[in-house]
Amino acid sequence: MRWPILILLALVVLLQYPLWLGKGGWLRVWEVNRLLQAQRAENLRLEQRNAGLDAEVRDLKSGNEAIEERARFELGLTRPQEIYVQVPQK
């Protein structure tokens, strides 16, 4: 009576091994799901960054105000008849 129980137990273990530890097992599914969630978070961050850059590009293409603002603050350019005064900070 002991041998059939041991054989059945071994058969159950052999059948459960691929389910839990095999190539498509539950442990692999959980790992891939965790990686998928991390990638989705990264994609969301990059989409937000791209949306900001897209808005900036559209602003630079459509209006002169953005170009003028960049020229003034980044390059220090002035309009004719303007005086540029730079005050050093201590």
Residue with tokens 């095999």: 22
Instruction: Please give the pLDDT value at position 63.
Output: 76
Is the separation of the CB atoms in 29 and 22 below 8 Å? Answer: no
Report the alpha-carbon distance of residue 38 to residue 34 in Å, rounded. 6
Q: How far apart are CA 3 and CA 36, in angstroms?
A: 45
pLDDT band at 5 (very low <50, low <70, confident <90, very high): confident
Taking only the tens place, the pLDDT of each residue in 13-23 is 888 787 777 77
Structural domain boundaries of the chain?
8-75
User: pLDDT per residue over 33-84, tens digit each?
Assistant: 999 999 999 999 999 999 999 998 888 788 777 777 777 777 777 778 877 7
